[in-house]
A and B are shown apart, each in its own frame.
Chain A
Amino acid sequence: MLKIKEGSVVHWAVRVACVLAIAIFIVYIPTHSETARIGQFASAFTLIIAAMSLNLVLGYTGQISIGHSAFFGIGGYTAAILIRDHGWSPGYTFYAAAIIAFIVGCLIAMPVLRIRGAYLALVTLAVAVLFPTLLRWKKLEWLTSGAKGIDSVKYDKLPVWPFLGELKGRDGRAVFAYWLGLLVLVIAFLICRGLIKSRVGRSLIAIRDNETAAAVMGVNVTRTKVLIFGISASLCALAGVLSTLSTGVVTPDGQYVTLLGSIIFLLIMVVGGAGTLSGPIIGGLVYVWLDNTTRGIGTDSRGVVGFIFGWTNQSPATLILGLALIVIMLFAPTGLVGLFRKLSRRIVTIEPQGQ
């Protein structure tokens, strides 16, 4: 086993090497991959942001929410409506969506967070189920266009960013979506990190571990819970805006606007590692990879998969995804980040200074 002193030259070398590897990876993807792969990464970034927002509420504060698909939808619809009906430039819709979702999030949180545990899960589930029916409601059709949704919401002309040069065509849009997604992701990550590593973060964890004790220690439980729910909602709305801008469509049946979306965000968060900053990132990448790999497995494939699933006409994708999730939970019950930490501790330990 290797021991490294914190702050030593070796420790810094490892850190620099990690950052360099990530940077190379980030630049390599949009410059050297096919368009479809770039698009997959862009959608992974969207999902990661949504899972991060959920992580603030569930992973750190211990308040389960299955209603985040509604905030994702609020973001997506805000962007689509502002661009279509009011001729906004797409970039500004991020701010509007974040503000609206923050307000809605706080309004929902104020009564709802009185409810705890499994009850909260089911109440937020109700939010997730209600949101699409609200979008389809006849009385709101003037705003949401009902069941058919809003389409062709796109950048008319992609903005020119300094180091990217002029982007054109389908490839250009994918590359742009990638970088835009990454930018928002980095901002969201920094917001989460700032919150967690501060006084607010410590009070969140105190609330998660024991609400009564936190209140006794002087944490304003209600205010903290409501604010963090609002912040989480607005981060999730950012993901919704991103999704609308890259696909150009929002409908009430959209994958991430319905209950399914909330479930996917939760899966990503738990698979990656709840209550860790890097968990949603790892989880999102793994989920998108799993999703695309299993979807690629058609019924006509040969080899083992063809042998096992040759009898059916339907794609076994979802079944394999389900099995994979069970296997991950069996071997990494605290998420992939937890598993990584456990394994890496056997090989390398970082010794804190002063010991």
Chain B
Amino acid sequence: MERLLQYVFDGLSFGAIYALLALGLVVVFRGTGHLNFAQGEMAMFCTFIVWQINDWGVPLILAVAIGMLFGFALGAGAEATVIRSVAKKSPGGVFVVSIALFLGLNSLATMIWDRAEGYTMKSLFPNKDVDFVRILGAEWRYKYIGVLIVALALMGLLFLLFSKTKFGLAMRSVASNPESARLVGVPSGLVLASSWGIAAAMGALSGALVGGINGQLTPSLMFAVFIYASAAATLGGLDSPGGAVIAGLSIGIGEQLVAGYAPGWIGQDLKLSVALILIFVVLLVKPSGLFGSLKVERV
């Protein structure tokens, strides 16, 4: 029982991080209909910026804020300069550009921060061996609690942004019909650029959280996280923010449970596979994810 609780709790924290990155994917997909394969690498690059600023003596929390701003600029800039003009002419081109961003950012990070063993990343939360509370027998580590709270708070803010503000309304209108949105005076270019910016800023935060949990920073920081996050976005339905959160959290828990309870013959290597196969099965039953809307088209 204690073991189970422990797994569920640890899973929730990891799941919150996947959900953050998955939300970024969903925001971009709803706005532009594209998958941003560079989402993870953008997050990684911003995390290095956070580390660098922190290393220069700025408090970590401020550094994270600056990193998120940088992320916003990076995402919005990429959309406004390259993505938009390519997307107009060829949808497949956006895929290539996002892969090019992936390769470029990864390579640039390796070039700038070239220590092979990586860098030590501080956590936003107390991170010593004694920093935990014991509830129902499970250890609730402060850093995990912190991650969970920050992630959930940010998601809450995002939902408010989407549903209660004028900007959220503009975003939804651009997503549902770009042409009409432009005709009624919505600055659709600005909206698209900001949705990429918001996605990248959320990526920056999730990167900083992952770095804090791992305690170590290398250019491959976000690779596995991105796979889980994209699985979460798919499972939840690519156009459903709520779905991304629920799916992210359940993938986090599922991952921990599989790691903890799977029979020995499966082995650690197949941990990721079990999660992916489950998602596979779900998609076969519901091809547009658990909460995604089915696209109906007229012929």
Contact = CB atoms under 8 A, between A and B. Distances in A.
Interface of A: 58, 111-112, 114-119, 121-123, 125-126, 129-130, 133-134, 136-139, 210, 212-213, 216, 263, 266-267, 270-271, 274, 309, 312-314, 316-319, 321-323, 325-326, 328-330, 333-335
A111 B269 contact: no
B280 interface: yes
A116 B114 contact: no
B104 A318 contact: yes
Contacts of A115: 283-284, 287
A314 B111 CA distance: 5
A115 B233 CA distance: 15
A316 B234 contact: no
A121 B283 contact: no
Contact of A126 (B33, B104, B280): B280
6 contacts: A112-B284, A118-B34, A122-B234, A129-B272, A270-B95, A326-B104
B100 A323 contact: yes
Contacts of A330: 82, 85-86
A122 B107 contact: no
A263 B223 CA distance: 15
B102 to A, nearest CB: 8
B111 A329 contact: no
A216 B283 CA distance: 26
Contacts of B284: 111-112, 114-115
B227 A123 contact: no
A129 B276 contact: yes
B153 interface: no
B99 A266 contact: yes
A271 B283 contact: no
Given A114-B287, A313-B114, A326-B97, A137 B107 contact: no
B93 interface: yes
Given A138-B267, A309-B111, A326 B227 contact: no
Contacts of B99: 263, 266-267, 325
B227 A318 contact: no
B29 A118 contact: yes
B270 interface: yes
Contact of B103 (A58, A121, A318): A318
Contacts of A129: 227, 272-273, 276
